Amino acid sequence: MNNDLLWSKVLNKIQTEVNSIVFKTWFKETKLYTIENNIATIIVPMEIHRKRLLDTYKDLITGALLEITNVIYDINILLEDEIIINKEVDISIPKKEETITFKHASNLIKSYNFENFVVGNSNKLAHASALAVAEAPGQTYNPLFLYGSSGLGKTHLMHAIGNYIEENSNKKVLYVSSQQFIDDFSKISRRDDNNKTNYDYADYFKNKYRSLDVLIIDDIQFLATKPKTQEEFFHTFNILYNDNKQIIISSDRSPNDLKLLEERLKTRFCWGLTVDIYPPEFELRKNILKKKIQGANIHQKIPDDVIEYIASNMTSDVRNLEGAINRLMAYSLMMGYNEINLPMAVDALKDTINKGTSEKTNILKVQKAVADYFQISVDDLKSKKRSASIAFPRQIAMYLSRTILNESFERIGLEFGGKDHSTVMHSCDKIKGEINNNMEIKNSVEKIKESIL
C-alpha cells in the first residue's frame, strides 16, 4: 500500500471519530511523508497544527494506524518547509554569499505576545480582531487599523500579531514605527543629490517594504506632516494590499481625525477594520496589575487592598500601572520593608497619584455628587435622556470628571453609558464657557466640587 492510500484510509477512520470542524481544521491538509522504522512522519501546514495534533490527537492517529497496519508507530510531525530545509542542509555546504545576503529582521519584541496581554471590556474587540488577523493574515481584516490614546496596548498587540504569525508560518513580517519608515524613505531623497548609489538604495527600500507578507506600522499620525513619505506609503500600501498582504496600522486617533493625512490614505485605512481601544476599566486595571506582578517575579505578596488602591487611583493608562508597581518595589527595597501593605503603598505612590483627589475619588463619586445636587439619579446621568434637566447635569459631571480627575475623554464617555469621546469633549468645552459667562453656574459647579473633594 503506498503512503497516500494508507493515509487516506487513516483519515477516513479519523473522520468517523471527530466532528467535521475539527477534521477540516486539523487533519484535512495533512500528508503522510514517510513510514518506516516504526515512525510515521506526517506533514502539516503550520506550527499550530503540529502542536494541536501532538497535544490532542496523537493517540487517535496511532490508533487508526494500528488498526490498518497492525503496527504501533511513533508519530513525528514536520512542516512542509522543514523537509525542504532538511534536504538542502544535507547536500550543500553553505556558501559564503549566503551569509551576506539581505537578512530579514522583523524588529519584533518577543515579550509582547497574546499570552501576556490581559483582556477586559475596553480592549476586548481590539484583542479579538488582532487574534483574527494573526490567525489568517491577509484574509480577514485588511488593513487592521487600531487606535486609542497612548499607553493602552496598541504597540503590544501589534507585536503580538507579528510574533504569532512568525511562530505559525513562514511569512515575512516587519514591524516599523512611522519614524523608521520616514527615515528609510528620507535616505532615498538624501542620496538623490550626489551619487548614483541612490538607485541601489531605492531598490533596497522597495525590496524591504514591498516583499513583505505582513507590514506593521506604528503611530501613523507622525506621517501627517510628511506629504512625500505619505506618497511612498500610499504606493507601498497599494502593492501589498493588492497582493493580499496584511497591513496593520496604529494611531493615536481615528482615520477621520488624522487631519493632515491625504484623503486617499484615510479612505484606504477604512477599507478593512477600524477598532478603538479604550482606557482600561477598574476590573481590567486590577487584572493587569496582577499579571504584571506575576510576570515580574515579585516574591513579596502584594495584598488585594494595595492592588485596589493602585487600580482605583491610576486610571489613565497601562504604562502608569507598570510604573506604580516598579515604584512600589523600589520603595520597599530602599526602605528595607519586607512586607508590602496599604500605608506603605500610599506613601510610596503619593507623588504619582493625583494630588488633591482623595483615595476614593473616582467618576462614580463625581456622578453621585452631581446627581445629588440636581436631585436626579446616577442612572439618569448615564442614560440617553436629552431633556435639559438631565443633559445639563450630565455635562457638568463630565466636565468635573475631566477637570478634577484628569480622566481621558474616552474613559469618561465609557462611564457615562458609552457616549462618544467627541460628545464628552463638547460637554467639557461648553461648561467651561458657561462658567466664564454665568456666575450662577460657576457657583453651582464650585459647590459640587467642594462636596467631592
251 forms part of the interface with Mg ion (CB under 5 A)? no
Reduce the DSSP state of residue 59 to 3 states and report it: helix
152 forms part of the interface with ligand ADP (CB under 6 A)? yes
8-state DSSP, 105? -
155 forms part of the interface with ligand ADP (CB under 6 A)? yes
Helix ranges, 169-262 (H): 178-192, 197-210, 227-242
315 forms part of the interface with ligand ADP (CB under 6 A)? no
Residue closer to Mg ion (CB basis): 213 or 218:
218
Closest by alpha carbon to 395, among 446, 436, 430?
430
Dihedral of alpha carbons 355, 360, 364, 367, sign: negative
Grid cell in block for residue 64: 487508526
406 phi and psi angles, rounded to 5 deg? 60, 30
Closest by alpha carbon to 18, among 9, 6, 27, 30?
27
Q: Which one of 148-156, 201-209, 309-317, 356-364 is the stretch in contact with Mg ion (CB under 5 A)? A: 148-156
Dihedral of alpha carbons 248, 251, 255, 258, sign: negative
Q: Which one of 151-159, 297-305, 363-371, 422-430 is the stretch in contact with Mg ion (CB under 5 A)? A: 151-159
Residue closer to ligand ADP (CB basis): 209 or 278:
278
Contacts (CB under 6 A) with ligand ADP, residues 60-119: 112, 116-118
Residue closer to Mg ion (CB basis): 159 or 245:
159
CA distance 200 to 207: 10
Q: Which one of 61-69, 88-96, 147-155, 355-363 is the stretch in contact with Mg ion (CB under 5 A)? A: 147-155
Residue 212 near which of Mg ion, ligand ADP, none (CB within 5-8 Å, type-dependent)? none
CA distance 154 to 251: 8
228 forms part of the interface with ligand ADP (CB under 6 A)? no
285 forms part of the interface with ligand ADP (CB under 6 A)? no
Residue owning grid cell 467535521: 20
Dihedral of alpha carbons 379, 121, 156, 253, sign: negative
CA distance 396 to 430: 9
123 forms part of the interface with ligand ADP (CB under 6 A)? yes
- Are 108 and 175 contacting, i.e. CB atoms less than 8 angstroms apart? yes
Residue closer to Mg ion (CB basis): 150 or 267:
150
Burial class, 130, CB count within 10 angstroms (exposed 0-12 / middle 13-18 / buried 19+): buried
Residue closer to Mg ion (CB basis): 137 or 153:
153
150 forms part of the interface with ligand ADP (CB under 6 A)? yes
155 forms part of the interface with Mg ion (CB under 5 A)? yes
Burial class, 48, CB count within 10 angstroms (exposed 0-12 / middle 13-18 / buried 19+): middle
Residue 246 near which of Mg ion, ligand ADP, none (CB within 5-8 Å, type-dependent)? none
156 forms part of the interface with ligand ADP (CB under 6 A)? yes
Report the residue closest to ligand ADP, judged by CB. Answer: 153
Q: How far is the CB of 111 from ligand ADP (least distance, A)?
A: 8
Dihedral of alpha carbons 188, 192, 194, 196, sign: positive
Q: How far is the CB of 337 from ligand ADP (least distance, A)?
A: 26
Q: How far is the CB of 151 from ligand ADP (least distance, A)?
A: 5
Q: Which one of 74-82, 149-157, 161-169, 406-414 is the stretch in contact with ligand ADP (CB under 6 A)? A: 149-157
Residue owning grid cell 507579528: 162
Residues that bind ligand ADP (CB under 6 A): 112, 116-118, 123, 150-156, 288, 291, 318-319, 322
Residues that bind Mg ion (CB under 5 A): 154-155
